[in-house]
Structure 1
Amino acid sequence: MSVYLDHAATTSMSPEALAVMTRELGRTGNPSSLHGAGRRARRVVEDARETLAAAAGSHPSEVIFTSGGTEADNLAVKGLFWARRDADPRRTRILCSAVEHHAVLDTVEWLERHEGAEVVWLPVDEQGVVRLDVVERELKNDPGSVALVTVMWANNEVGSLQPVPRIVELAKEYGIPVHSDAVQAFGSVPLDFRASGLAAMSVSGHKIGGPVGVGALFLGRSVSLTPVQHGGGQERDVRSGTLDTPAIAAFAAAAATAAANLPAEQQRLSGLRDRLIAGVLDAVPEAILRGAPGNGRLPGNAHFTFPGCEGDSLLFLLDLAGVESSTGSACTAGVPRPSHVLLAMGLDEDTARGAQRFTLGHTSTEEDVTALLKALPEACARARQAGMAGHESSIQTAATEARSQGG
């Protein structure tokens, strides 16, 4: 039986969410319909909206249901940019952290290529935390040209928490809206949308024990947002489309469970994480922990680089040993590339390729950590050996080519 240590990618549905979704899948009714079945579905959706709002510290009217975190990020970033630029054509600058998830990163780059956005990439320190001095400087540098700021609440790779409330304070002085991708943070650390002062915040269902394919954008009631898609005008005329009642109900059930258990679960996972970190550093002394220490990182996140190891090789070797983890890096067109997050933190490409992310969740146990620590030393040794063999092979190939060209 495999040990699952990739909860940051997705986690299993909670029993509460699964029960609610199973119940709703057996029912019918479009929540936009006026007959009895439609009104029943609408009540389910609105009850879920209230539950989700309570879990995130927002008003129910600020909850915009989406198909997931990626759609919520696209809606927030594109919608804020277009609305702000339409109100004042000078507003074309987007301040964006260099370590964002690709749902934000690629959206910002698309706006740069196609909509004339000028992107300011906010650098991070060696722990992956956005540098506030640069944020402050860029906001002061012609604030009238800034459309929005977007900085994630917690990094999905190294787990570092970002100073979002302080960034909101800095931006508020100039009336500039801030969006935060809180997909990794929601359900893991305390969040309060209302208290944060954010204009918009994205969350996703499958990261907290809900189903895949549902998420939400928390959007301030006074915030103007240009829709990305058009149709029936559901969700405050901001996000059109028939609402997925079963998924929304299950998402809300998962959010309620996560919120109720948050203090105890945060403490439990932090303890497991700290044991995992200490065990990895003991078992593989050359391993280097990446990201912020202690309470500065997500309770379930432990991210390392292993010198001399290719992350992909280590992942597959651990998988063969029954431990499922992640490199935390993106793959473009089937070609493994170093993590943009680690590169932004100052690592070189060779070091970044040795990354491995272990993330814990609501089903994680002490036995899972023990299994990893048992399997890791041999997997690292074999990955390092494979890396050395590959390096020697590439040298031999280059030498052969050089000789053939010279002769």
Structure 2
Amino acid sequence: MELTIRAMAPGEEPTVKALARRCFNPIGWLFFSLGKQTFVAEHDGAIVAGVCLGTPRLPGGRVAGHIKWIFSAPEARGMGAAQALVDRAGEWFTEQRCTTWFAQVEGYNVSSSKLFATRGYERVRFADQVRRWGVGLPLVWFGIGHGMDLGHYLWVRDASAGTESAAAGSSASSATAWLGMLVANTLIGYLVYLRWGGLAPFADLHRLWYVPVTMLVLIGVRSLSMYAAAAAVRLPVEYRGWDTGAVLSLVITAVFGGILPVPGSLYPRSDDYSYCRELSRLGPIAFAGVVSVLIVGWAIWAVQSYVGLSPRVDELLTTGLLFARYLAIFDALAVFFPLASYNGRRVLDWLLPAWLLPAAGTVALLVVG
């Protein structure tokens, strides 16, 4: 029996929510909402997939279409339900006269990236978003709930665009994105100083160099190690920053005084690949990144523990060890949504023993004080 794509009928909300609960983990489920319009895919009388849509306002009062959630039951995989639902969503956006269509996809969610790329959507990097919407960008992000979803990227399609595959790139280079993340993490580090010590840490101007030097070393060593591993396994990759992660990190630091490093990551240049098949190469790349941060952290600890240092050098290394520990915590131990974009998830998916090693090293680095 063929799939039937239709609007959710009155009284079906509990059924659709139950399906969504099956598809999302408990944390993801907390953020789930049906939106303004929901379409479902029905097979043999049962709802097996759904898509939830919204119509936020863009600067200037224009209406946009937003794919808030798309999900399908495991038994519906391979039926083409997701493709059919995205096509129906596009028809509905056209009916609502939406000028721009949006979706957000986690960087390693290859199937969803392919789905939107083959339907005319394009992944738009932060620099291009600024060029396109300028000072209205915060309104765009707020309207679609973008800005707190670490490691997720904005996919955009203009209503007039065709359905041919779009190039998933932009004019922003990996180097530009990397420098942007370096600046963002430096600002986050300064904000940590302010939240933890007020203006006192800035009393001596030489301390202003501690944070940028620390971030340059940590993010630089991590990135270079991952690039070296990518070259060794012969996987073409590109660096992508976590722009929305930077926003989330700033909020966490400003409101709670917490630390959430946002180093960005390396992704295959093409979205035309299988995550499962490429784990044999993605895993070693992620492993190199995690281990490199741990090596820096343990090296700093050893130097501080066994080498006589001047007060200024000791202060610099204390700053380095603080951020190395936090980066190691997230890069090695954060393996579940909404933090699955860190390297630990790739290592765990690749090989459990390979993940246990840096996980144990991270815990030990915290215990030694």
Fold shared per TM-score above 0.5: no
The structure showing larger relative contact order (alpha-carbon pairs under 8 Å, at least 6 residues apart) is: 1
Q: Normalising by the residue count of structure 1, what TM-score does the alignment of the two structures yield? A: 0.25
In proportion to residue count, which structure has more helix? 2
